[in-house]
Amino acid sequence: MAYTDTRTVCWQPTWNPAHAGVGLEHLLLSEGEASAVVLAFDDTTGPFRLSYRLAWGPTWQLRQADLLVDTHQASAALSLRTDGNGHWRDGQNRVLHALDGCLDIDIWPTPFTNSFPIRRAPMAVGERREFRMAWVSAPTLSVQPQPQAYTRLAERLYRFESLDGSGFTVDLPVDEDGVVLDYPGLFKRA
C-alpha cells in the first residue's frame, strides 16, 4: 500500500487491570516511516513515555529505529541501524553481533511493530513462518534477539507465537494495511 499522506493510528494499553484506562499510543504513519509517542505504566518503574521513530524501505525492511524513554527517574535513548539483511549497529556505529539474523524489530509496548513481518514477508492463508526479531523492551530499552512465529489464519487474521519458551500465543486481527487492530489482552485500537 502506498500512503499519499500521513495516517494516524491510536491504541490504548489494556495489559494492566490495576491501571485500566491509563496510557495511549499515538502513531503517525506515512510511506516508509512512522513516529509515535506511547504513554504507559510499568509496575516497576511507574509511568513512562516512549517516543520512537522508525524508517524502512519499500518492502518494509527496517533501516533505522530511534527510541527515547522518559521516566520520573531518568531518560534513556537507543538508536539502531540495520542493512535489512540481518546486520545491526548502534547509534555509535558499533556492530551488534547478538542481533545477527534479525530482520525485523518488535518494540514493547506497541502493537505496530507486529506489522513488519506481516508486511515484509507476505504469507498465504494457512502458512506459518518463524522470524528472529530484535526485541526492544521499554522502559529499559534493552534489546535482544527473540524468536517468534506468525501464521496467517485468514485474510486479515494472524496468529502470533513467542518462541521464547513462554508459550505466549495470540490471534491478531489487522486492518487493510496489515496494522494490528486490537491485540487481545494487551492493546485496543482507539
CA 113 to chain CA centroid, nearest Å? 2
Identify which of 116, 158, 156 has the alpha carbon closest to the alpha carbon of residue 136: 116
The model carries a pTM of 0.94
Q: What is the dihedral of CA 3, 114, 62, 177, to 10 degrees?
A: -20
Is 1 inside a domain boundary? no
DSSP one-letter string for 132-152: EEEEEETTTTEEEEEEEEEEE
The domain in which residue 30 lies consists of 7-189
Residue pair 183/9 in contact by the 8 Å Cβ criterion: no
Residue pair 55/37 in contact by the 8 Å Cβ criterion: no
Is 133 inside a domain boundary? yes
Cis omega (within 30 of 0) on the bond before 139?
yes
Query: Residue 90's pLDDT is what?
Result: 97
pLDDT-above-90 percentage for the chain: 90
Is 75 inside a domain boundary? yes
Is 52 inside a domain boundary? yes
pLDDT higher than threshold 80 for residue 3: no
The number of domains in the chain is 1
Q: How confident is the model at residue 18 (pLDDT cuts 50, 70, 90)?
A: confident
Across the chain, what does the average pLDDT equal? Answer: 95
Identify which of 139, 126, 132, 159 has the alpha carbon closest to the alpha carbon of residue 72: 139
Is 2 inside a domain boundary? no
